Amino acid sequence: MAHPRAKVLTATFAMLTLASILLISNEENVSANAWALLALAGVFAAAAVMAFFQQDDGKEHVGNESVVPGRDQQTEAQKLPDPTEDGFDVPVI
């Protein structure tokens, strides 16, 4: 399986295009629904091309990566001054 995402997107593109062609042939005119299916098929075609030419780095996503939270220590530069101590007016509602 070289590019499974590209294969799925290409199959979806083909199904949407076929559905649009069948809709046009059944109604014997091009309706708004047929144009919508053709536009959606174009989006899937572009996504399939991008997925096909995407570089594989050989890395596989494990999914068990845990996020280690950073320390909650604040330095003096990160602390905000207390407005009452620095002479600011605190609005009272």
Q: What is the DSSP letter of 35?
A: H
What is the structure's pLDDT at 85?
Answer: 72
Question: What's the half-sphere exposure (Cβ side, CA atoms, 13 Å) at 22?
Answer: 6
- Check if the beta carbon of residue 34 is closer than 8 Å to that of residue 23: yes
How high is the mean pLDDT in each 10-residue block of the chain (93 residues)? 80 91 91 90 89 71 59 69 68 72
The CA distance from 30 to 16, in Å, is 15
What is the structure's pLDDT at 22?
Answer: 93
